[in-house]
Amino acid sequence: MKIVVVESPAKAKTINKYLGSGYTVLASYGHIRDLPAKDGSVRPDDDFTMDWETDPKSEKHIRDIAQALKGAEGLILATDPDREGEAISWHVRRVLEERKALKGLDVKRVVFNEITKTAILEAMRNPRDLDQELVDAYLARRALDYLVGFTLSPVLWRKLPGSRSAGRVQSVALRLICEREGEIENFRAQEYWTVEADFLTTRKAQITAGLTRLDGAKLDKFDLKDEASAKMAEAKALAARYHIDTVERKQAKRHPSPPFTTSTLQQEASRKLYLPASRTMQVAQRLYEGIDIGGETVGLITYMRTDGVQMAAEAIGAARSLIEKQYGAAYLPSAPRIYKTKAKNAQEAHEAIRPTDVSRRPADVAAYLDREQMKLYELIWRRTVASQMESAILDQVAVDIVSEDAKIGFRATGSVVKFDGFLTLYREDRDDSEEDDGDKLLPDVAEGEAMERKDLRKLQHFTQPPPRYSEASLVKKLEELGIGRPSTYASIISVLQERSYVRLDARRFIPEDRGRVVTAFLENFFNRYVQYNFTAELEDQLDDVSGGRLEWKTVLRSFWQHFSAAVEDTRELRVSQVLDALDEALGPHFFPPDASGHDPRTCKTCNTGRLSLKLGKFGAFIGCSNYPECRYTRPLTMASNGDGPAEEALDGPKQLGTDPVSNLPVTLKKGPYGHYVQLGEAEEKGAKPKRVSLYKGLEPIDVTLDKALKLLALPRPIGTHPESGEPITAGIGKFGPYLKHGSIYKSLGRDDDVLEIGINRAVELLANAKGKTRTPGKTLGEHPDDGKPVVQNSGRFGPYVSHDGVYANLPKGKDDVTFEEALALLAAKVAKGGTKKGKTAKAAPKAKAKAPAKEKAEPAEKKAAVKKPAAKKPAAKKKAPAKPKATAKTTTKES
């Protein structure tokens, strides 16, 4: 018997079926240990010795693996085929070695790019040793992230109270978002005009063309800078007669994109499916590990963390065969398309993300997949097949129309898809101009042909600021700069949102003021470590480590020498110096000028003080220089609609209006735990007014009377569940927005609005909730004592009957009972004292008789409580756990 270890139970279940009785496949459930989240887990002074701590949750899984190894022939580590997978295998082996579980056993490593029977069996025939170079790259990356986080974060906390933390790669990604926001704020729109005309050919076909030449000179974009210049051009164009000067025709080819890498999958899933990067990876993981299709678990796609664009020869052959059969020979190139990866590290440049079997069309598996799985699989399938299809051919035409004296010229351009090729199956960008190609066909015209001018119009335009980053464009930019690696992009984006450094609005990233303050601090005092080229060069060094070209501790020594010196330099920094630097850097953002010419830094309360950045116990805020005489303050948090300067956030009560039903005032207020809406006002001796907190993602500035009334009406009924017939409601609780159906609760994510979610989406979310929605039990009748229903149902311990909080299991082997039998079972349960918590059993009169005795005992208990300090003596027993026994939390030193 050989023991095989993988990461997840889903993967273990699939592989176990393929390997048969000679193997036992167990799951480690991901990483089994990590660096403890405390200072000193990586010690640079001790040659970067690292302390590893076993996760208490992993202890059971480690014991199961160790137990299974007793009497086994060997251990096979079959975790994912990348650096993280290699690291998990390394940790498993090291922990088992420390527990003496591997004596005399052969330990091997196998990797496979897809979870199919053929790939698994082939991997088992070709085992290898652990790749220490990949492990070293993991160790270096983990140590670097730890050293930055646990060295830089305390500096932030001391010099910038209220800041969360700083990460090696997250800080650079945050800088990108903040810099783009700065570009938008500093952008000044520039006006320009264009002139266009409609012309009729001699055969009365219409062509629309734009003015490109005036007074014999070519027009640049901003030559018509205002309406007056546009009117002048319009007048000159109106007076001329026109003919066709030249007609240019050329053919262009559009080639298909390669199959997906991790980065391009995240970008396209964001653009086309509106999936966040983290969700894309979760869904892809499920498709990779296997889906139950007709009683068999099948891995539908290859490994989804890869920089590679190449495909196996067998996969290319299968795709070409499908193309010829389904689309015809015209769509099949004469030779296979071979794509080459740009990844520097060949060990980590795995095969592209593709279906494990392209003959398994999306329609064939639709019945076995949920909505997200189906959409993502279809996206991967289409991209893969399209990558082996023939190029699209486009006919492009440009027509120049000029006046008789050739001083005024118009140009019309158009194109049409002559042969759609791969476009019949896949278009890379849903906003691509190719979507309109078919509508741009120009009529057939000849040079010298006279043209009749019809309508002429002038159009006003304004330049637009650069767009904020979306998840797709941020991932693309990070990849272009060489910052991070595709497998880390999802976690980078999640961390920035979790720390409230950025927020998503209309699927675009907007930096929070907290994030801008942190970025400004790092740019002023740790500039080198948020430089794009520095971070990219460090990533290249880590790639060199995994490729065996560089020793991992050399990278750490070089980094730490400069980084520790930079941290040391900040020790002497006074908070006032930090504030002055940040106040100067962020002044244009917090105090934008207005049209009135009023100094935005002048205090609005005393009219003499100067507003500037201040630091308090709970973080940065804006305050007046005349403090304490003037106590004007406002929080940093700003809200902007993206069309102008930011407005101040709500800092006091705001009357939203009156509730039309109760005629009570509706108010938006801020409390110690955030903003909330309130109906009415508190009375001295009355009930408290109804209050509802704003949920995450709902900004105070966006709360209108209508929205406030909807919040106050929560929980709201959504509809009836189609299967159980029970109502589904939506509300806001202690942990945020949720759905409720019977005893099932499901939290709502950022993409679902508690005020708007409908019945179809609610049913879908509840279907994926932990624990399945319980079907209502069978009512047997009404209890003769109180008329309440007696219900038969099934639970985790088998069938049972219930009545008013009393539950009685059915006898073993019996699945159904009559009403009379149910009454007898319930009566027997009550006689034994079996009741719902908080209820008093009817058949328990003895409990009342004992009550006085309990009252008498009370003084004795109080007396004993006084002597409690004397009970410290047994503390000496704490010396007992001195045995080197494996506990739920084991720390190991390694260098």
pLDDT digits (tens, 9 = 90+) for 164-203: 677 788 889 999 999 999 899 888 889 999 999 999 998 8
For residue 818, give its domain range: 778-840
Q: Which pair of structure tokens corresponds to residue 145?
A: 């992230």
CB 458 within 8 A of CB 230: yes
Residue in 636, 742, 796, 615 with CA at minimum distance from that of residue 158: 615
- Per mean pLDDT, which range of 144-158, 246-260, 433-447, 644-658 is the poorest? 644-658
Q: Which pair of structure tokens corresponds to residue 21?
A: 């009785």
User: Residue 162's pLDDT is what?
Assistant: 58
> Domain check: are 207 and 237 in the same one?
yes
User: Residue 833's pLDDT is what?
Assistant: 73
**48 assigned to some structural domain:** yes
H/E stretch holding 152 reads: helix 132-159
731 backbone dihedrals φ, ψ, rounded to 5°: -155, -175
pLDDT over 80 (residue 798): no
> Domain check: are 382 and 399 in the same one?
no
**571 assigned to some structural domain:** no
3-state secondary structure of 408: coil
Give the pLDDT mean for 280-294: 90
- Looking at residue 321, which CATH number applies to its domain? 1.10.290.10
- Looking at residue 113, which CATH number applies to its domain? 3.40.50.140
Q: What CA–CA distances, in Å, run from 710 to 362, 666, 667, 715, 776?
A: 41, 11, 13, 9, 30
- Per mean pLDDT, which range of 23-37, 171-185, 581-595, 769-783 is the poorest? 769-783
**546 assigned to some structural domain:** no
Give the pLDDT mean for 52-56: 89
Structural domain tally of the chain?
6
CB 704 within 8 A of CB 697: no
H/E stretch holding 444 reads: none
> Domain check: are 20 and 125 in the same one?
yes
Task: Say if residue 466 is preceded by a cis peptide, omega within 30 of 0.
Answer: no
**585 assigned to some structural domain:** no
Residue in 516, 527, 763, 514 with CA at minimum distance from that of residue 620: 514
User: Residue 381's pLDDT is what?
Assistant: 97
Please tell me the pTM assigned to this model.
0.66
> Domain check: are 276 and 362 in the same one?
yes
The residue out of 695, 712, 729 marking a domain boundary is 712
Q: Which distant-in-sequence residues (6+ apart) come within 8 Å of 600 by Cβ?
A: 591, 592, 593, 594, 611
3-state secondary structure of 304: coil
Active site residues: 303
User: Residue 431's pLDDT is what?
Assistant: 42
User: Residue 644's pLDDT is what?
Assistant: 36
> Domain check: are 319 and 436 in the same one?
no
> Domain check: are 378 and 294 in the same one?
yes
Q: What percent of the chain has pLDDT over 90?
A: 35
DSSP state of 845: T
**791 assigned to some structural domain:** yes
Residue with tokens 């990949």: 134
pLDDT digits (tens, 9 = 90+) for 705-721: 888 898 998 999 998 88
- Long-range contacts formed by 148-153: CB under 8 A, 24+ apart: 148/529, 148/563, 150/39, 150/41, 150/42, 151/563, 151/564, 151/567, 152/526, 152/529, 152/567
667 compared with 887, residue with greater pLDDT: 667
Give the pLDDT mean for 373-398: 95
H/E stretch holding 366 reads: none
Cβ of 113: how many Cβ atoms within 10 Å? 21
Q: Which distant-in-sequence residues (6+ apart) come within 8 Å of 377 by Cβ?
A: 287, 300, 301, 355, 362, 365, 369
CA distance 541 to 551: 9
**321 assigned to some structural domain:** yes
The residue out of 767, 787, 807 marking a domain boundary is 767
CB 210 within 8 A of CB 220: no
Give the pLDDT mean for 444-455: 91
> Domain check: are 284 and 300 in the same one?
yes
- Looking at residue 438, which CATH number applies to its domain? 2.70.20.10
Q: Which distant-in-sequence residues (6+ apart) come within 8 Å of 570 by Cβ?
A: 155, 159, 525
Instruction: Supply the mean pLDDT for the chain.
Output: 82
351 compared with 750, residue with greater pLDDT: 351
- Per mean pLDDT, which range of 192-206, 282-296, 549-563, 773-787 is the poorest? 773-787
DSSP state of 499: T
Residue in 460, 451, 396 with CA at minimum distance from that of residue 196: 460
Q: What CA–CA distances, in Å, run from 339 to 267, 352, 434, 745?
A: 19, 10, 23, 48
- Per mean pLDDT, which range of 52-61, 627-636, 640-649, 776-785 is the poorest? 640-649
413 backbone dihedrals φ, ψ, rounded to 5°: -125, 150
- Residues pairing with 27 in the sheet: 6
**176 assigned to some structural domain:** no
- Per mean pLDDT, which range of 424-438, 462-476, 618-632 is the poorest? 424-438
Q: Which pair of structure tokens corresponds to residue 651?
A: 């800092």
pLDDT digits (tens, 9 = 90+) for 608-651: 888 888 876 656 778 888 887 887 777 765 433 333 333 344 44
**Pairing, β 654-658 against β 665-671:** antiparallel
Angle, to 10 degrees, between the axis of helix 277-289 and the axis of helix 371-386? 80
pLDDT over 90 (residue 869): no
pLDDT band for 6, please (50, 70, 90 cuts): very high
> Domain check: are 386 and 275 in the same one?
yes
DSSP state of 422: G
Q: Which pair of structure tokens corresponds to residue 556?
A: 């750490």
3-state secondary structure of 495: helix
Give the pLDDT mean for 454-459: 93
CB 211 within 8 A of CB 237: yes
> Domain check: are 109 and 224 in the same one?
no
User: Residue 576's pLDDT is what?
Assistant: 77
> Domain check: are 8 and 123 in the same one?
yes
What length is written for the chain?
895
163 compared with 841, residue with greater pLDDT: 163
> Domain check: are 268 and 368 in the same one?
yes
Q: What CA–CA distances, in Å, run from 863 to 521, 850, 859, 866, 869?
A: 59, 21, 6, 5, 12
3-state secondary structure of 248: strand
> Domain check: are 283 and 364 in the same one?
yes
305 backbone dihedrals φ, ψ, rounded to 5°: -115, 95
Q: What percent of the chain has pLDDT over 70?
A: 85
**745 assigned to some structural domain:** yes
3-state secondary structure of 371: helix
- Secondary structure E strands in 356-408: 392-403
575 compared with 347, residue with greater pLDDT: 575
The residue out of 80, 102, 130 marking a domain boundary is 130
